[in-house]
Chains A and B, each alone.
Chain A
Amino acid sequence: MADDRMRGLAFEMTSGLAGPAAAAVSEAKSTKVEAVSVDFFYGETQALHEVSLAVAEREVTALIGPSGCGKSTFLRLLNRMNDLVPGTRLQGRVLLDGADIYDPSVDVVDLRRRVGMVFQRSNPFPKSIYDNVAYGPRIHGVRDKARLDEVVERTLHRAALWDEVKDRLSDSALALSGGQQQRLCIARALAVEPEVLLMDEPASALDPLATAKIEELIHELKVRYTIVIVTHNMQQAARVSDRTAYFYLGNLVEFGPTAQIFTNPTRQETEDYITGRFG
């Protein structure tokens, strides 16, 4: 009997613990926007070197890197905003749903409807809240009041602004707070039913609460839209994005799942930048 007790004890004293191994599976999404070997020049200065990057549909892709690394240049060439800068030149291809957006047959106005943009400083028109949102649809020929009402309400809902402005749609947009103005600009971009939303530091001029609202909004928007965001705030990139691209001196240094980039980047340069060991 003593032996039995001892054997029971022996088992207890020598048994180990084995847990199930967790398997991480990432869902593969289709590519919405793809840059293929893109070189970009401002006059003689080369701002991007052979950048190839595939933006997945309905995901948030963050572009990070120090000032002058080419991330904003890259963002802007996704809807040909750089066309407006004289002396610029692009080599390589930029594909939207597989079609080259720099093809001469492309209607740039239609491209910018499909690929909308939100800027660092909120820039509402000096018009009413309603007219700001209705501006795009009107330009694109929507005249019917009931239809415009419907678009305005739906987009303000999507931009998480409806509850705050529904009783004062005819007030000037300039009377809104900075954070509200920025969400209005997002609503204005959404009103023309874009597929891709480009955001250039959309929260850098906002306080932490307004920033949190924008970030929550980005999270909600990615259910419908493909989002590419440039940010200097690395915690913001970590919080909002699914994938992160690190640019340095016009090169795409590393591109991967955000959780991996922020816990275990592959490249030493990325590691140095995101841990603050830069320069």
Chain B
Amino acid sequence: MPQHTDRRYEEELGRLRQHILEMGGLVERQIGDATRSLSTANRSLAEATIERDHEVNHYDVEIDEECVHLLALRQPAARDLRLITTSLKITTDLERIGDMAVNICERAIELSDRPLDLIVDLPRMAEMVKKMLRESLDAFVREDADLALAVCQEDDDVDLLHREMFNEMLPRMSSDPSLLVPGMAQLFVSKYLERIADHATNIAEMVIFMVKGKSIRHLSVPSSL
């Protein structure tokens, strides 16, 4: 694709992309640390991860400002306009994912002083969700609508896993009330992960809009574009 005649504009758009990536990388790390603090009952890791959430929030504000600046001063059109509106939405999703990581850490702290068996599928679910986020950001950088579509399709697997965990834990908690508190905490974590997958799906949907100029949001996921 040809470069902008105005090179400063080109640089500003490049910087915007770079900041989204940095924010995405940070958020991915937050999810990793949060789930690890849970699985290793590591209270200090959980606390450090909560502490780092302000960096995510900082990116959210900074990227919003960059977008408003570009909209006001550059009157972007077509793909540039779609990049900027997409960025505004992506940062909101990334910021929410950051909040979910904080929630996971809070549950990890609650559970850290009682030995427990983690639900088998929780770490697996965390891996799936991290992969979805990573792929949605890769799709953003590479402007790869097909990869973005694949992310949307993976969301169903995560939803299914969440429901399965719920159905598995319910009878166990009913028959053994001592499992109620740790069980609920873990089901909440499962819910947080399921929500993170939804946010990753939102990002992927916006990437499809950015690349193709068409919205697939709130529709059933197509098998191809």
List residues of chain A with CB under 8 Å of any chain B CB: 2-3, 6, 10, 13-14, 16-21, 234-235, 238, 262-265, 270-272, 274-279
Contacts and interface: CB of A to CB of B under 8 A. Distances in A.
B179 to A, nearest CB: 12
| Main secondary structure on B side of the interface with A | helix
A274 B5 CA distance: 11
Interface in B71-100: 75-82
B113 interface: no
Contacts of A276: 4-6, 9
Interface string B157-182: 00100110010001001100000000
A3 B166 contact: no
A275 B162 contact: no
B151 interface: no
A265 B174 CA distance: 58
Interface in B1-26: 1-6, 9
Given A13-B191, A14-B159, A271 B5 contact: no
Nearest to B220: A18
B213 A263 contact: yes
Contacts of B76: 275
A16 B162 CA distance: 13
A262 B4 contact: no
Given A21-B218, A235-B75, A277 B162 contact: no
Interface residues of B, number: 29
Contacts, number: 68
Nearest to B195: A13
A277 B3 contact: yes
Nearest to B219: A21
A263 B75 CA distance: 12
A30 B164 CA distance: 58
B122 interface: no
Given A6-B170, A276-B9, A279-B5, A13 B187 contact: yes
A10 B218 contact: no
Given A234-B77, A272-B2, A278-B5, 12 more contacts: A2-B174, A6-B173, A10-B163, A10-B166, A13-B187, A14-B159, A14-B166, A18-B218, A264-B78, A275-B79, A278-B2, A279-B5
A18 B162 CA distance: 19
Give the residue among B5, B82, B162, B194 with the most A Cβ atoms within 10 A: B5
B158 to A, nearest CB: 11
A274 B77 contact: yes
